[in-house]
Structure 1
Amino acid sequence: MDDDSRKDSLEQRTEIPLAVASLVFLASYAVRVLAHGLPDGWRDLCLAVTLTVWAMFAVDYAVRWRLSGQRLRFLATHWLDTVVLVLPLLRPLRVVKVHEAVRRRGGRPRLSLQARVIVYAGLSTALLGFTGALAVYQQERAAPHATMRTFGDAVWWTCATLATVGYGDIAPVTPLGRLIAAGIMACGLALLGAVTGSFSSWLLQVFAREDDARPPGS
């Protein structure tokens, strides 16, 4: 078995377990951020779980890099994997690949391109909104002059930011909070563009089929 076949086999075997691990990572991080009165022992346990899962991601990335034989080109061809290794809170964004893997294992047909884009954008928006709200809230909750005092404030701000509305009633004041905000803004624009483009493409296909179905001269 060559390296490419071994890498593909490894990805198929580990995709779902690592997706579950990513949800465990997100849950442990959320507990540490939101459970203010959590005993130190439980906080340490959540931190240990978070670091252990991240180590699993790092090992998986290193093994696939080694099997690919691409060296530095692996960083460009697997840019999403590289990003989620550096920012593991984004790992749940790979959930669409898991959805496709489950459908294939169940013998069900793949969704159309437009449906996959819409599913991906919807799931990505929900996951990105939750993780973004957690990350910003962690930075802002104790900052002087912060307007984001509760997690509800963070969720409201994230929804407004992803929707490109930007009411301005709540805004991050810390440098790291603003950096996270810039990333959320960029992702919001990208997701909005993807959904809009996919929907427009679907409408064009519908209209084209209607035109083809019309009798000549009608």
Structure 2
Amino acid sequence: MTGKTETGDSAAKERWERRTQGPLLVAAVLFAVAYAVPIVVTDVAPWIRTACRYIEWSVWAFFALDYAIRLRLAPRRWRFVREQPLALLAVLLPLLQPLRLLRLVSALLLVGQRARMTFQVRLTTYVAGSCAGLLMFGSLAVLEVERNSPNGNIQTLGDAVWWSFTTMTTVGYGDLAPTTGLGRVLAIGLMLSGIALLGVVTANIAAWFIARFDQEASEERRQTAAIEALTAEVRALREEVTELRGGSAGSDDSATGASPHVSSPRS
């Protein structure tokens, strides 16, 4: 009975994830727009800023509700929590320290968790999406933090994008740098993320080459085995033909020796 219950809960969980994947992706896009508008447009109307804030928290509540329902439908809840610690941490972050930057990081974690669970995409596609998301949100976050700093030199979106790109790639020209504590924490996160993503790309390329070499070696071994088998078969056929020819020659000799000798009448 317990096995049937777990099977039913797993099926219900899978149905819920399939049905909510589209709305959650739309909600993630709304969250990104609501987060970006007040930062990019500095003179935005107060009501737009308030609406964006409500959208952020509404989307956040949607993701939190989704996590709660998936936890409720999971056959083994503690196992579900243990296997997805980032999702739980993302849900709890706003309760621990309600900063917009932490809400942003949490939203990224939640979207990433759902994307990995529902889509079997190639690793390169996932890495490219992660790079684009970190670049965009990192630029917005550092611009929000550094724009009002007295000694800040990241004042425009272009400066923020340039800084995020050089930081993620660990180039670090030094022409632009955060001056606030939160900005430097963000820089550390981008640097570590950039190193990790570059490592994943390098490992993926190396794995691709190794797989190609293994495939070629396997194909070569298969062809060698096929040639050896064909050679053995040809050798066996030759031996069989030789035996047949030898047997045929012996039969002809026997037939010739057994024929009666007819003497000439004159003898």
Q: TM exceeds 0.5?
A: yes
C-alpha separation between the residues in 2 aligned to 1:94 and 1:16?
Answer: 14
The one-character-per-residue Cα deviations of 1:45-72 (angstroms, maximum 9, x if unpaired) are 1111111111111111112122226455
Q: Which amino acid in 2 is paired with 1:59?
A: L
CA contact (8 A) 1:172 1:178 kept: yes
Q: Greater RCO between the two (CA within 8 Å, min separation 6)?
A: 1
- RMSD of aligned residue pairs (Cα, Å): 2.4
Separation in structure 1 between the aligned mates of residue 75 and residue 113 of structure 2, nearest angstrom: 23
Contact 1:129/1:158 (<8 A) preserved: yes
Task: Note the C-alpha offset of 1:79.
Answer: 2.8
Contact 1:33 1:134 (C-alpha < 8 Å) held by counterparts: yes
Residue number among 12, 26, 40 corresponding to 1:6 in the alignment: 12
Structure 1: how far apart are the matches of 2:165 and 2:52? 27
TM-score, normalized by length of structure 2?
0.69
Of 159, 162, 171, which residue of structure 2 is paired with 1:153? 159
Paired residue type of 2:178: P
Separation in structure 2 between the aligned mates of residue 78 and residue 95 of structure 1, nearest angstrom: 10
Structure 2: gaps spanning 5 or more residues:
94-104, 225-267
Q: Residue 79 of structure 1 corresponds to which residue in structure 2? A: 85
> For the residues of structure 1 that align with 2:117 and 2:33, how far apart are their CA atoms?
18
User: Is 1:140 aligned to 2:146, yes or no?
Assistant: yes
Structure 1: stretches of 5+ with no match in the other structure: 101-109
Distance 1:169 1:80, change over 3 A: same
Query: Following TM superposition, by how much is the alpha carbon of 1:83 offset from its aligned partner in structure 2, in angstroms?
Result: 4.6
Aligned CA distance change for structure 1 residues 28 and 147 (closer, same or farther; 3 Å):
same
Take 2:136 and 2:89, find their aligned partners in 1: how far apart are those partners?
A: 18
Task: Specify the code of the residue in structure 2 equivalent to 1:18.
Answer: L
The one of 46, 58, 64 aligned to 1:58:
64
Percent of pairs with identical residues: 37
Shift, 1:170, TM fit: 1.1
Q: How many residues align?
A: 204
State the Cα deviation string for residues 132-190 of structure 1 (Å, max 9, x = none). Answer: 11111111101121121111111111101111211121111111111122221221111
The reply to whether residue 30 of structure 1 matches residue 19 of structure 2 is no
Deviation by residue 1:91-111 (Cα, 9 ceiling, x = unmatched): 4545854883xxxxxxxxx66
Match of 1:203 in 2: 209
Distance 1:189 1:84 in 2: 22
Q: Distance in 2 between matches of 1:89 and 1:128?
A: 12
State which structure, 1 or 2, has the greater radius of gyration over its C-alpha atoms.
2
Match of 1:45 in 2: 51
2:175 equivalent among 152, 169, 177 = 169
Question: Which shows bigger deviation, 154-163 or 178-187?
Answer: 178-187
Partners of 2:64 and 2:45 lie apart in 1 by 29
TM-score with structure 1 setting the length:
0.83
Q: CA deviation at 1:130?
A: 0.2
